[in-house]
Amino acid sequence: MKISYNWLSQYTDIPENIRELADKLTMAGIEVEAIEAGKIIPDGIIIAEILERKPHPDADKLSVCRVNTGSEELQIVCGAPNCDAGVKAPLATLGTVLEDDETGKKITIKKAKLRGVESSGMLCSARELGIQDDHSGIMHLPKDASVGAPLNSIIKSDTVFDLEITPNRPDLLSHWGIARDISALMGTTLRFPDIKIPAVLKAEAAKYKDSVEVLNKGLCPRYTARIVKGIKVKESPEWLKERIQSIGLRPINNIVDITNFILMELGHPLHAFDLAELKGQKIIVRTASDGETMMTLDGKTHKLKSSHLVIADAEKPVALAGIMGGEHSGVTDKTVDILIESAVFFPPNIRASSRELGISSDSSYRFERGVDFEMAEAASNRAVSLILELAGGEIVSDLIDVKAPEREMPAPINCRFSSIRKLLGTEIDNQEIVEIFKRLGLEVSEINENSCRVDVPSYRLDIEREADLGEEVARIYGLDKIPALPVNAKMVSSLAEDAYLKLETAKNELISLGLCECMNYSMSDEKSAVCDGKFTKEDLVELKNPISSDFAYMRPSLFSGILDTVRRNISRKNLDLELFETGVVFCANKNLYPEERRECCIVLSGRKHPERFSSEKNETYDFFDMKGLLEKWLEHRRLENTGFRKADDPRFEKGSCAEIIAGGKYIGSFGMLAGNFTRGMRTQYPVYLAVIQLDVLLGLKDRNILYEPLSMFPSVARDVAFVADESLSHDKIVEFIMRSKPENLEKVELFDIFRDENIGKNKKSMAYSLTFRNSARTLTDEEVNKAHEKLRSQLASGLSVDLR
């Protein structure tokens, strides 16, 4: 909301320093979002009087004026149509620098000849001075302006604040409202504008007594109307135009400008109807009938519903209550008699209608937040007073005031001083608390040493409870005065209950394994969501109101997101990738997965040592790099019953894919990304990817660390080599050896695999080194040989391999 400094200063004394005022407002909870400093009028612009106007001898559009500057008479050539004798206007004297607002160009006023006639200065339009947008002619100044004085002595440059008003404080949505809060903050006196209402023509007053009918008092708790006849609709005076232009409104005519002015002055929306356009000279406040239509003053036709409140005459709606007036009932140049509406509407209804009809106005903005019940009358009075002053006419009705009988008065609040102190954590005394309430316009009574009774004025809709009073005390007392005590670091629960520790640890482990963490959006399109072949559309959690179809589903897996990440990096020529992501994924099929679970994805692709040179530079990640990484991770987590088994999975190339087992459970899969996912990626390197059910992994119990004594006796090494079928896997061999339990065997390690024509097709030669050791003594050759021989023959018979 825009607030003009000059305007605001009418209602209370405010700090002269703009910055100081902005800080005061900010610290009172009225955030200053922007400050637009007004244009400063240079001292060289003075008030001058045109004494004589003569046509220019050589130019039709120019005039030659004799101008009184107070100290001398000058000849000025002027191109404006309105530079008549007798007019007082701003004169830029010689040497004055004027700056064009739009172009920023500066011009210096110099003595010049215009078509042969000398001119010693320039008479200025409002736009040339950056005061208003009017460029139709030179600016006319008030008749009583003192000639020779600088213009800035009568026209003050203004500063406009853009304020953010929180939704709980509709009372601040006006200059008066802001002034009221400043007066509470600073203890200054408030000045309500003068209102003069003459006596009403009694003869006509009776005629209009019953012209307002409110059919739905729930939606319209108060409706007031006043009728003024014989007005003259015309342009507003300068001061009024200046006020409403200062906050960015466009002047229209005196009546409309007055209603807009009061809206911004007192925060109460008003509407002026052309009485001649009200059929039956009546106002009926009712809900629309379904399908009823009306055209608003912006020229749009709306189809209404029975929930929409309208202001109607005897025949049809003439305004959308509290939102916008009708096209045909408003004030025009021809209007002579008017009805001024000042009402209170039920906020939720205005909010709903405004949203449904897609119309938001300064009026609906205030009504949907709640206006001051009592202000309805004051605003109407203010309007009538201004209309009589600026448009003439006669007031012909009393205030026609239709109120809901059962209006709820806010209950008084019992305020315990100790509660306020406890809430704020500061020693503010009773008297100071009471003083703050009084400054805020709250009525304080029944004061004793423990508590007081507080009655809240009609404009403070946000104060209902003791806690609300506490907030007011904090606000006015000043949050900066509340001390920061030493931190209380009380431990009220154990770290074992901490929900993040496990995840945090897991992430740190992956980082220590050399992976870079990524983060992708949680939503995706349908095609990406099901691209991994693990989910169908029915398994997806679908949004009701997505931003677009590209983000219509909650991701069922991190797969497609990290795939996008890989694709994006490759397209940017970042080919060497070591990545991981952890995140929540979603599933609608409870038989498949819980609705929300955590997943982890790991990616390896590209060169292992791009930083090196020669042949080393060409080493690239392969299946066993990913496997080794996963093995180390599981080992670090001290998980038992871990392993890998061959698998078929649509996400991965056939034959280059495995399932990961930990704690005896399936926890994920990994492999070389299948060709249909890497198609089009401009990389020569295969992409290895692992998808892990992180919740399952983090839920596994880890092995306790129990120290095993170290043997101080030497180990003895033996080898065993044999030719086996290709189908015999390494883990089967190791498992067989371990199951055979050769005496004193400490360790088995594969050291060679070899294939060639001599061995035969579908055969491989495998060589293992065996380490024997005893914890209590040195082993003899014979006993090792015996165990070695036994194992050899067991392998030959048990696995049908050919020993070498």
Q: Which is nearer to another protein, 462 or 783 (CB)?
A: 462
* Choices 114-122, 448-456, 582-590, 776-784 (CB under 8 A): range interacting with another protein: 582-590
Q: Which is nearer to another protein, 100 or 595 (CB)?
A: 595
Which residues 143-162 are close enough to bind another protein by CB under 8 A?
none
- Rounded Cα–Cα distance for residues 317 and 376 (Å): 22
360 sits near another protein (criterion: CB under 8 A): no
Question: By CB neighbour count within 10 A (0-12 exposed, 13-18 middle, 19+ buried), where does 767 fall?
Answer: middle
568 sits near another protein (criterion: CB under 8 A): yes
Q: What share of the chain is helix, strand, coil (3-state, %, to 5)?
A: 30, 25, 45
Torsion of CA 204, 206, 212, 215, to 10 degrees: -160
The two beta strands, 283-287 and 212-214, are parallel
Tokens of 161: 């604040």
Choose which of 199, 409, 492, 776 interacts with another protein (CB under 8 A): 492
518 sits near another protein (criterion: CB under 8 A): yes
CB of 332 within 8 A of CB of 233? yes
Which residues 29-58 are close enough to bind another protein by CB under 8 A?
29, 31
Q: Which is nearer to another protein, 59 or 584 (CB)?
A: 584
Q: How far apart are CB 676 and another protein at their closest, in Å?
A: 22
Q: Which is nearer to another protein, 118 or 517 (CB)?
A: 517
Q: What is the x/- site pattern for another protein, positions 391-430, by CB under 8 A?
A: -------------------------------xxxxx----
Question: By CB neighbour count within 10 A (0-12 exposed, 13-18 middle, 19+ buried), where does 484 fall?
Answer: exposed
CB of 329 within 8 A of CB of 335? no
- Rounded Cα–Cα distance for residues 609 and 605 (Å): 12
Q: Which is nearer to another protein, 204 or 625 (CB)?
A: 625
Q: Which is nearer to another protein, 393 or 583 (CB)?
A: 583
Choose which of 143, 572, 701, 739 interacts with another protein (CB under 8 A): 572
Q: Which is nearer to another protein, 633 or 652 (CB)?
A: 633
Choose which of 103, 493, 684, 762 interacts with another protein (CB under 8 A): 493
574 sits near another protein (criterion: CB under 8 A): yes
**How many Cα atoms occupy the beta-carbon half-sphere of 52 within 13 Å?**
8
613 sits near another protein (criterion: CB under 8 A): yes
Nearest to 340 by CA among 424, 398, 413: 398
- Rounded Cα–Cα distance for residues 653 and 676 (Å): 9
Label residues 14-48 b or e (16+ Cβ within 10 Å = b): bbeebeebbebbeebbbebeeeeebeebbebbbbb
- Cα 183 to chain centroid distance, Å, stands at 31
512 sits near another protein (criterion: CB under 8 A): yes
Choose which of 73, 99, 118, 616 interacts with another protein (CB under 8 A): 616
Q: Which is nearer to another protein, 523 or 791 (CB)?
A: 523
Query: How many other β-carbons are positioned within 10 Å of the β-carbon of residue 684?
Result: 8
Residue with tokens 């398994």: 539
356 sits near another protein (criterion: CB under 8 A): no
The two beta strands, 643-646 and 652-662, are antiparallel
Query: How many other β-carbons are positioned within 10 Å of the β-carbon of residue 451?
Result: 18
704 sits near another protein (criterion: CB under 8 A): no
482 sits near another protein (criterion: CB under 8 A): yes
Residues in a beta bridge with 444: 454
Which residues 548-567 are close enough to bind another protein by CB under 8 A?
551, 554, 565
Q: Which is nearer to another protein, 206 or 516 (CB)?
A: 516
- Rounded Cα–Cα distance for residues 287 and 320 (Å): 10
Residue with tokens 């400043």: 182
- Rounded Cα–Cα distance for residues 769 and 779 (Å): 17
φ/ψ of 430, rounded to 5, equals -50, -45
* Choices 110-118, 264-272, 444-452, 489-497 (CB under 8 A): range interacting with another protein: 489-497
Residue with tokens 């005896």: 664
Which residues 442-471 are close enough to bind another protein by CB under 8 A?
465, 467-468, 470-471
* Choices 91-99, 375-383, 399-407, 483-491 (CB under 8 A): range interacting with another protein: 483-491
308 sits near another protein (criterion: CB under 8 A): no
Residues in a beta bridge with 564: none
Q: Which is nearer to another protein, 487 or 710 (CB)?
A: 487
Choose which of 88, 268, 308, 475 interacts with another protein (CB under 8 A): 475
Choose which of 256, 579, 660, 791 interacts with another protein (CB under 8 A): 579
- Rounded Cα–Cα distance for residues 321 and 674 (Å): 64
Q: Which is nearer to another protein, 218 or 348 (CB)?
A: 348
Q: What is the x/- site pattern for another protein, positions 313-352, by CB under 8 A?
A: ----------------------------------xx--xx
500 sits near another protein (criterion: CB under 8 A): yes
Tokens of 575: 């080919």
Q: How far apart are CB 579 and another protein at their closest, in Å?
A: 7
Choose which of 149, 519, 738, 750 interacts with another protein (CB under 8 A): 519
491 sits near another protein (criterion: CB under 8 A): yes
Q: Which is nearer to another protein, 541 or 661 (CB)?
A: 541
Can you give the C-alpha Rg of the chain in angstroms? 43
607 sits near another protein (criterion: CB under 8 A): no
